[in-house]
Amino acid sequence: MISGRVFERFSLQSPTAQAEGLRHAVLGTPIAAATLPGQGEVSFGCGCFWGAEKGFWRLPGVITTAVGYAGGSVPDPSYQQVCSGRTGHAEVVRVVWDRELVGFSDLLKLFWECHDPTQGDRQGNDRGSQYRSAIFVDDPGDLASAEASRQAYGALLKEAGYGAITTEIASGKVLYYAEPYHQQYLAKPGSRPYCSAQPSGVRLGPFEGSRYLLPPEVWQSFDWTLPHCVLRGDNAPIRL
């Protein structure tokens, strides 16, 4: 991820504590609210979380998103600690969604297609374990879907000449929220439209247990021709 970020005023509160009172800069929903019945929650690691978060908040049926750190051993780390590569955490996007409006399969489609999951501890020019590909989800059904989609997408990538998928899929991983200035960064005044993701261009189709709810026209709202980031464009959620 690029250097030279502008840091907010120093706070004695941890990043996670600061997130408790924040509302989404685009959706207006609390970014740290607990999930309710009929909702799902997942954390996706797909390189720099700035661009990835924007992609997910645009999908119809997504209730809120937030960026944070997960998969490591250091509790409530700072951005600087995660960047050191010694915490074991990955940069992730928390996504909470309405299961009646958007399927977990739809979220997995965007996840696999928005980055190259074969690059190991990097994504494009961003290098380090914090940029690894990962899916952290606790619901058993969602976990099974994630694993099935990995198998299906891996076969498609192999046909296209790519190597093996390196994506980590796990449950029981604690999410620690990133600092407030990272939340919905690309929707804030003065932000730099940066994303290092290098999507393969391979599309995910049906897989075992898949259940897509979004219509095909949703995916036309993303500029798939951009070589580094398919998530640039309008900040507004996609309207059906």
**Could you please report the per-residue DSSP string of 140-172?**
HHHHHHHHHHHHHHHHHHHHTT------EEESS
Average pLDDT for the chain? 92
Residue 229 appears among annotated catalytic residues = no
Of 51, 85, 90, 61, the closest CA to residue 170 belongs to 90
Tell whether the model's pLDDT for residue 83 goes beyond 60: yes
Domain 16-33+41-221, what fold?
Peptide Methionine Sulfoxide Reductase; Chain A (3.30.1060)
Q: Which of the four pLDDT bands, split at 50, 70 and 90, describes residue 36?
A: very high
| pLDDT, position 196 | 85
Contact 168/132 with Cβ under 8 angstroms? yes
pLDDT tens digits for range 154-185: 999 999 999 999 999 999 999 999 999 999 99
Choose between 13 and 200: higher pLDDT.
200
Of 198, 236, 210, the closest CA to residue 109 belongs to 210
Give the C-alpha separation, 238 to 240, whole Å: 7
Tell whether the model's pLDDT for residue 146 goes beyond 50: yes
| pLDDT, position 195 | 84
Tell whether the model's pLDDT for residue 3 goes beyond 60: no
| pLDDT, position 7 | 41
Percent of residues, the chain, with pLDDT higher than 90: 81
First vs last C-alpha separation in the chain: 33
Tell whether the model's pLDDT for residue 46 goes beyond 60: yes
Contact 2/192 with Cβ under 8 angstroms? yes
| pLDDT, position 230 | 67
| pLDDT, position 12 | 58
Tokens of 144: 């099974």
Tell whether the model's pLDDT for residue 10 goes beyond 90: no
Of 46, 47, 156, the closest CA to residue 108 belongs to 46
Q: Which is catalytic among the residues 48, 114, 195, 229?
A: 48
Contact 207/149 with Cβ under 8 angstroms? yes
Give the C-alpha separation, 201 to 157, whole Å: 9
| pLDDT, position 1 | 46
Please provide residue 220's backbone torsions phi and psi, each rounded to the nearest 5 degrees. -75, -10
**Could you please report the per-residue DSSP string of 160-214?**
TT------EEESSPPEEEPPGGGTTGGGSTT-----------PPP---TT----S
Domain ranges of the chain: 16-33+41-221
Contact 185/50 with Cβ under 8 angstroms? yes
pLDDT tens digits for range 125-138: 899 999 999 999 99
Pairing type for strands 168-170 and 133-136 reads: parallel
| pLDDT, position 172 | 98
Q: Which of the four pLDDT bands, split at 50, 70 and 90, describes residue 149?
A: very high
Which stretch of 5-14, 17-26, 107-116, 183-192 has the lowest confidence by average pLDDT?
5-14
